[in-house]
């Protein structure tokens, strides 16, 4: 049984999906104004492992991770770079995609962009106004915090903490200082869309609520992100979604990864400990970065250092050598002990220790399966070492095609993709490749 530490309950509980045939998961993605740094990579890798684990347990997993491509930080950076917002976001998004692929993270099933969901945001804002949870003032639309008596409960914040934590500017058009922006007017040099309140753009929080509703519905299984997003972002998501939908349900489980320090201090360019993934990948492998980030439990703070990367790179190289020397060994592939560790709130440090035990005991079958679930891409290993589970699924898909059961064939293809492989049909049948 998979157990998850649910932030909303502040305890570890059994995971019971809404639909046992398809688990739904949404993770807050990047704001594409700059290249992602090592802190941004932690949730990418943590939830990639969760995606792999869920895919090994359930028939289907629908994983959505958004891309925020409209934001004040984007506007400022584009102006600073003397480029258009489109040029900046496209270039940065392309680098983000390359970075997470180099980290061997599986592409989510859906990667919605905020700018492609403006209509859904406007519709949700209109519903909030109709429900008396939001109001228009001086071409702004704001969420009325005191209209929802549960506001602050999720983040465990008092009213004074809400006002301080939101870091919003004092504005005379606000009915309450803690009210937050759903829509705001744009100046001539800022991106804008037509709306019932004039030309403008959405606030940050409403973007995720609108994308979640479109792609996963009003109630879904898991919402993930960094600990820093609990307040105000996730608290505001819950408030506006529940109020717009007139429901007390949103995400059933909330998972948050802990903070990351760099070289013992807060990451800062002035301190010389600010590392982008792009820069790190010029020196180290994606496997080494994954190993460092997964060697500490996802909920605990992590001190990231280059010395840890050097050590991790050496371990990965030894692991790769071991696998290549023993790749023809056929052994037991039962990894219940390993999966039980991951099923205990994604205990990757324990799972990694079990992986090393498999290596020490020369349990090559178990080792390969555990490596796959943790998402390591061991170079130069023979393609014949594709896990037996993937081979069996591929054969089932082939049989479904022969029987012209194309719905079943597509379902199995998606399952294989979720496990990190793809099927390519060939004139002689099919071939299996790692994504």
pLDDT score of 399: 85
Q: How many other β-carbons are positioned within 10 Å of the β-carbon of residue 256?
A: 21
At residue 169, the pLDDT reads: 57
* pLDDT at residue 400 in the model: 87
**Cα three-residue angle 131-145-155, rounded to 5 degrees:** 120
What are the helix (H) ranges across 296-387? 306-325, 336-343, 348-360, 364-374
User: pTM (2 decimals)?
Assistant: 0.85
What is the spatial distance between Cα 353 and Cα 42, in angstroms, rounded to a whole number? 20
CA 398 – CA 98 distance, rounded (Å): 31
Distance CA 287, CA 64 (A): 23
pLDDT at 424: 80
| Residue 138: CB atoms within 10 Å | 12
- Distance CA(258)–CA(385), nearest Å, equals 35
Low-confidence ranges of the chain (pLDDT < 50): 165-167, 380-384
Q: What is the pLDDT of residues 223-260, one digit of tens each?
A: 999 999 999 999 999 999 999 999 999 999 999 999 99
Report cis status (omega within 30 of 0) of the bond before 232: yes
Q: Are 92 and 32 in contact (CB under 8 A)?
A: yes
What gap in Å lies between CA 285 and CA 305, rounded to an integer?
Answer: 15
Contacts of residue 32, defined as CB under 8 A and 6 or more positions apart, other chains included, come to 67, 68, 69, 74, 88, 89, 92, 93, 96
Which tokens sit at 318?
Answer: 């030894």
Of the CA atoms within 13 Å of residue 85, those in its CB half-sphere come to 15
pLDDT, residue 432, reads: 81
262 backbone dihedrals φ, ψ, rounded to 5°: -130, 120
């Amino acid at each position: 049984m998979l157990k998850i530490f649910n932030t909303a309950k502040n305890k570890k509980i059994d995971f019971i999906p809404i639909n046992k045939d398809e688990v739904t998961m949404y993770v807050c993605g990047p704001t594409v104004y700059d290249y992602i740094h090592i802190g941004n990579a932690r949730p990418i890798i943590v939830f990639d492992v969760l995606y792999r684990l869920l895919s090994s347990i359930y028939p289907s997993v629908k994983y959505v991770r958004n891309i925020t491509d409209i934001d004040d930080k984007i506007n400022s950076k584009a102006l600073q770079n003397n480029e258009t917002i489109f040029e900046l976001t496209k270039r940065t998004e392309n680098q983000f995609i390359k970075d997470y692929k180099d980290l061997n993270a599986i592409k989510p099933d859906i990667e919605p962009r905020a700018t492609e969901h403006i209509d859904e945001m406007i519709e949700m804002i209109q519903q909030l106004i109709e429900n008396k949870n939001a109001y228009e003032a001086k071409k702004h639309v704001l969420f009325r915090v005191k209209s929802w008596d549960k506001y602050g409960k999720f983040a465990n914040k008092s009213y004074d903490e809400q006002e301080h934590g939101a870091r919003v500017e004092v504005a005379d058009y606000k009915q309450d200082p803690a009210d937050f922006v759903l829509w705001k007017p744009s100046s001539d040099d800022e991106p804008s869309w037509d709306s019932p309140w004039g030309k403008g753009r959405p606030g940050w929080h409403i973007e995720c609520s609108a994308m979640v509703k479109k792609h996963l519905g009003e109630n879904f299984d898991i919402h993930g992100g960094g600990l820093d997003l609990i307040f105000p972002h996730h608290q505001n998501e819950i408030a506006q979604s529940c109020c717009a939908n007139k429901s007390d349900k949103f995400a059933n489980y909330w998972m948050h990864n802990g903070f990351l320090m760099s070289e013992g201090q807060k990451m800062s360019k002035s301190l010389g400990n600010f590392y982008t993934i792009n820069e790190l990948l010029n020196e180290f492998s994606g496997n080494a970065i994954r190993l460092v980030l997964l060697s500490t439990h996802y909920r605990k703070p992590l001190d990231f250092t280059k010395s840890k990367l050097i050590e991790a790179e050496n371990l990965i190289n030894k692991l790769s050598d071991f696998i290549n020397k023993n790749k023809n060994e056929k052994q037991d592939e039962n990894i219940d002990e390993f999966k039980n560790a991951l099923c205990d709130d994604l205990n990757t440090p324990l799972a990694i220790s079990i992986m090393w035990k498999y290596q020490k005991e020369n349990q090559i079958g178990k080792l390969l399966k555990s490596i796959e679930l943790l998402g390591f891409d061991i170079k130069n290993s023979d393609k014949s070492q594709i896990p037996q589970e993937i081979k069996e699924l591929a054969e089932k898909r082939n049989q479904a095609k022969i029987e012209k059961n194309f719905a079943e064939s597509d379902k199995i293809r998606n399952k294989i993709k979720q496990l990190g492989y793809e099927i390519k049909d060939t004139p002689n049948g099919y071939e299996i490749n790692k994504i």
